[in-house]
Amino acid sequence: MLLGFYRLLTVLCEPLIAAYLRLRLRRGKEDGARFGERQGRASLPRPQGRVIWMHAASVGEAISFLPLAERLQGQNETTVLLTSGTVTSAALMARRLPKGAMHQFVPVDCLVWVRRFLDHWRPDLALWAESEFWPNLLLEAQMRGVPLILVNGRVSARSFRRWRYFPGTIGRLLSAFSLCLGQTPEDTERLRRLGAVTVDYCGNLKYAAQTLPVDEAEDARLSGVIGGRPRWLAASTHAGEELLAGETHRALQDRHPGLLTIIVPRHPARGADIAGQLTGMGLCVARRSAGDPVTGDVDILIADTMGEMGLFYKVTPIVFMGKSLAGQGGQNPLEPARFGAAVLFGPHMDNFAVMAQAMLAAGAAAEVADGAALTRAVDERLSDPGRAQHDGMLARRFALKQASVLDSVMNRLQPWLAGLEANDEGA
C-alpha cells in the first residue's frame, strides 16, 4: 500500500521534484553539465556486451566499490557502470574508476526518470552498496528481471528501529535482492530480521579498499619542503575539530620546535573559514588551494584540495581521523593504516564501530576522549618516534590482513556472474 502510493506520488509530483533539482543546481549541489543524468537521460551510449550496474550513494560507498569494480571491469566483455548521487563522488570516480568503467549520476527516484535510465542502460546485474533502498529503482529493476545484490549492506540501530514500524514496506524492498551481504554480523542479523530472504556475511568490503593514490612528484616536492620538521595530520575534519587541532598545535609547538600541523577538512570549501579561525588563534596558516608557500614559520597547512589525501597520509607519521570528536560517525581509519601511520580517533566512530574496535584490540589504533587527550597522544608519539613507527607497523599489518575480504565477496557473487556467462552462451 505505502509503496504503491509512493510510486504514484513520484509520477504526480514530477514537476515539483524537477523544480527542487533546479534549486539544488543553483546552490551548486548538482552538476550543470550533466544535469540530465539526474532525470535519467544518459550522457554516454550503452556499451556492447554485459553491463554490471554498481550503485553507491556517495564518496565512502563509491570508494569501497573500487576494488570490486577493478575485478569486474572488462571480464568477458563486461562494462562496469557506477552510479552515485553527489558531485564530489563523481569527481573522485572520474580519477579513480578502472579504465573502461563508466560513471553516471543516479536518477532521482521518480518513476518516469528511473524507467528512462533502465531503458537506456539495460543492466544485466546490479550491485548496491550499504543502505540505498530507493523503491522505484529497486522495484523497477526487479520487474525487468535484473538480479540485485546488496553488497556491504548496512542497517544502523536507528534505521532498524524505524523500519520495524513498516515491516511490509522494508520486507518488500529487501525481497528485491537475490542476496544481501551484511557489512557486519550485526547488520547481517538486522537485514534478516527485516525480511531479507538470502543473507550472508563475508566481511566489510571497506577493508579491501585500494590504497589511496599518491602523486610521486608532488610527494617528493612536499617532502623536500617539509624536510625534517615534526608533523602530524588531522584528516577529514568536521567543524570544531580544526580548533582542537589548533589548540593541540599551540600546546606542543614549544616542546617540538618547528612543529607542522596539517589539516585536511572533509569539505574543502570550508578552507577559508578554517584559516580565519586559526589565524584568529595567533597561528600562521597556509592554504594549499591558494598556493601559499609552506615556509618555516607556517604553523598550520590547510590542505583544502580534492584527491590528495593519500599524499598527506604518506608524508605524516601520526594521523587523527576526524568526525570522531566534534562530529559523529567517524571516517575510515584503514586509509592511513595502509600507509603505516600511527592512527588516532575519537569515541564517535559509529560508522566504523566494528573496524575501530578491531583496530583497538590489535593495537593498530588508539582512542582519544577529547582535545586534551588528543594533545597528549600526539605529544607522546612526537616525543618517541620509535613508538609512532611501531604503532604504524601494527596499523599497516592490520590493514594488509583484511585484503581477503574481496576474494570472499567475489566467491559469493560467482553464481550470478556465472549465470551471466551462461545467458550469453544460450543467446
Per-residue pLDDT of 34-52, as tens digits, reads: 999 999 999 999 999 999 9
pLDDT reported for residue 400: 86
Query: Is 277 exposed, middle or buried, given 0-12, 13-18 or 19+ CB atoms closer than 10 A?
Result: middle
Residues 34 and 144 in one domain: yes
pLDDT for 215 beyond 90 = yes
Residues 58 and 187 in one domain: yes
pLDDT for 302 beyond 80 = yes
**Residue pair 155/181 in contact by the 8 Å Cβ criterion:** no
Which residues, including other chains, have CB under 8 Å from residue 281's CB and lie 6 or more apart? 243, 246, 247, 250
Residue 77 binned pLDDT confidence (cut-offs 50, 70, 90): confident
Asked if residue 211 is part of any domain, the answer here is no
Residues 357 and 375 in one domain: yes
pLDDT reported for residue 207: 82
pLDDT reported for residue 209: 77
Residues 124 and 225 in one domain: no
Residues 42 and 150 in one domain: yes
Residues 237 and 377 in one domain: yes
Residue of 14, 30, 37, 61 with catalytic role: 61
pTM for the model: 0.73
pLDDT digits (tens, 9 = 90+) for 154-166: 998 999 999 999 9
Strands 125-129 and 260-265, by their bridges, are unpaired
Asked if residue 279 is part of any domain, the answer here is yes
**CATH number for the domain harbouring residue 37:** 3.40.50.11720
- % of the chain exceeding 90 in pLDDT: 84
pLDDT reported for residue 205: 87
Q: What is the pLDDT averaged over residues 85-89?
A: 92
CA–CA separation, 191 and 193 (whole Å):
6
Residues 287 and 159 in one domain: no
Asked if residue 249 is part of any domain, the answer here is yes
Q: How far apart are the first and last CA of the chain?
A: 38
Asked if residue 365 is part of any domain, the answer here is yes
Residue 328 binned pLDDT confidence (cut-offs 50, 70, 90): confident
CA–CA separation, 203 and 183 (whole Å):
6
Could you tell me the CA-to-CA distances from 289 to 178, 221, 247, 308, 421 in Å, in that order? 46, 16, 23, 11, 48
Give me 83's grid cell: 552510479
CA–CA separation, 416 and 208 (whole Å):
21
User: What's the order of all strands across the beta sheet hosting 300-302?
Assistant: 285-287, 300-302, 260-265, 231-237, 318-321, 342-345, 366-367
Active-site residue 216, yes or no?
Answer: no
pLDDT reported for residue 163: 95
Q: Which amino acid is at 154?
A: R
Residue 195 binned pLDDT confidence (cut-offs 50, 70, 90): very high
Q: What is the pLDDT averaged over residues 200-205?
A: 91
Residues 416 and 339 in one domain: no
Per the structure, how many domains does the chain have? 2
Q: Which of 18-32, 205-219, 305-319, 331-345 has the lowest mean pLDDT?
A: 205-219
Asked if residue 314 is part of any domain, the answer here is yes
Average pLDDT, the chain: 94
CA–CA separation, 330 and 345 (whole Å):
8
Q: What is the pLDDT averaged over residues 123-141?
A: 95
Q: What is the pLDDT averaged over residues 267-277?
A: 96
Residues 277 and 360 in one domain: yes
**Residue pair 274/265 in contact by the 8 Å Cβ criterion:** yes
- Among 284, 309, 328, 287, residue whose Cα is nearest residue 234: 309
pLDDT reported for residue 424: 59
Asked if residue 210 is part of any domain, the answer here is no
**Residue pair 148/141 in contact by the 8 Å Cβ criterion:** yes
CA triple 93-355-388, angle to 5 deg: 95
Residues 177 and 241 in one domain: no
Domain that holds residue 341: 216-401
Residues 265 and 180 in one domain: no
Asked if residue 209 is part of any domain, the answer here is no
pLDDT digits (tens, 9 = 90+) for 64-74: 899 999 999 98
pLDDT for 101 beyond 60 = yes
pLDDT for 427 beyond 60 = no
- % of the chain exceeding 70 in pLDDT: 98
Higher pLDDT, 188 or 326: 188
**CATH number for the domain harbouring residue 366:** 3.40.50.2000
CB-CB neighbours of 363 under 10 Å:
14
pLDDT for 352 beyond 90 = no
pLDDT reported for residue 425: 54
**Residue pair 149/177 in contact by the 8 Å Cβ criterion:** yes
Residues 313 and 410 in one domain: no
pLDDT for 112 beyond 90 = yes
